[in-house]
Amino acid sequence: MSEQPVVPGFHPDPSVCRVGDDYYLVCSSFEYFPGIPLFHSRGLRHWTQIGNVLDRPEQLRLPVDMPSSGGIYAPTLRHHDGRFWLIVTNCAEGGGNFLVTSTDPAGPWSEPTWLPDVPGIDPDLAWDEDGTCWCTIAGVGQLAIDPYTGRARGEVRSLWSGAPGAKAPEAPHLYRIGAYWYLLIAEGGTERGHGVSIARGTSPNGPFEPCPDNPVLTHRGTDHPVQNTGHGDLVQDADGSWWLVFLGVRPGGGTPGWHVLGRETFLAPVTWTKDGWPVVGEIVSPEGTAADEPFRDDFDLPELHPSWISVRDRSPEHCTTKDRPGRLTLRARGTSLDEPDAVFIGRRQQHFTCRASALIDATQGAGGLAVRLDEQHHYAIETDGTQVRVISRVGSVRAAVATLPVPAGPAVLSVRITPPPRPHDARTGPDVISLGVEQPDGTFTELATLDGRYLSTEVAGGFTGRVIGLYAAQGTVHADWFTYAPKT
């Protein structure tokens, strides 16, 4: 199982740093709040989420009219001078690049220091021997900044943009390793042509000599089960060994292959040639992940687990565990999951085969359990306290595909995601999503089984992956508990 991610599910654009024996890793979060999930590890192969960097509205404002797959792009995490530094792009209107800092990676993190002189996306931070802070951006350009004030210390200058003609040189990271400064970039676009290339020079601002064996990582044109590999970040272990974290996808089904979990975080060892160039090895398997453990939330705590994410914001007026102890209360603001201001709270789908269930009381409204990719691509099972229905939204088509009367009161709604039935052919989708009701004895009553390809990036576009969770469409909805577990 060497092709498994170390952080499965929608966790793209990884950036990593080491402090002593501890490793910390962050990922992009796009339109979801809180933003930038933060993980801790002692050995790179087992990661546990310890928080979110942007967990306060003052740090992260995502307007309701911002399209899905907008928002927070490509953070870089570094440790320098006793402090953690994170630089990132908010692609929402009125956003831009900014810095936050903390002495404790678990938080709290500072208010943003905005960088009005830093254009573009995918900013990186590196300090040279005289203390100059260099910010390198997609394109690839670079300028010196004062990280405390956010002001530039010079103009943007072009560096090295990868292979001639290769599109989208992005995700730059600059490192001092031995006698050289190495500039690592992604190129080829974040789809099937994605890859990682590297160049080096004797100065942090070049000139840069490209590696003769570029790209140092790509799975383009291969039958490897992990595709779209790119957007990497190097880290050195305490024993002197080197590693690369990077994103990839695991497409399934027939042609062209559909990836549904989003871009995930993978790990590979790095060795160095006699000439001082990195060689990326095969993907290594994780030593178990926190994601493999079944998750249950009875909503007994005043604060939600850090793995819960909401669309664009999370107002206590619309989402709280404090109104009724042991219950999650959701108050509708839109009319359905089709609306950009939908009240939704979910967790990333992290397994190809899994199930999620929740006890929903919608006697004062309507709401339920959904598998969401974006406003135009989701499946949901919804109740109003007397009737359950399955709703499919694919592109411009929204339909109630099945209904079932139920006894008045709360209902246990369930989603089961499984491989497609055999036989397979070129048109077979990646999975099927069954939505139904669980009876008191645990029996699952299926209302509908839908093709999973329509909740994939290859159909919907964008940069995210599936999120499974709870929502309110009308009035007030309560959830007594929620479970998610891989199904073996």
Q: What are the residue numbers of the active site?
A: 13, 170
Are residues 137 and 119 in contact, defined by beta-carbon separation less than 8 angstroms? Answer: yes
Are residues 462 and 67 in contact, defined by beta-carbon separation less than 8 angstroms? Answer: no
Q: Exposure string (b/e) for 303-328, b if CB count within 10 Å is 16 or more? A: ebebbbbbbbbbeeebbbbeeeeebb
Q: Which residues neighbour 255 within 8 Å (Cβ) at sequence distance 6 or greater?
A: 426, 427
Burial of 155 (0-12, 13-18, 19+ CB in 10 A): exposed
Task: Give me the amino acid identity at 67.
Answer: P
Provide the token pair at 122. Answer: 């995918």
d(CA 74, CA 219): 21
| Rg of the chain, C-alpha, whole Å | 23
Whether cis (ω within 30° of 0) applies to the bond prior to 256 is: yes
d(CA 168, CA 106): 33
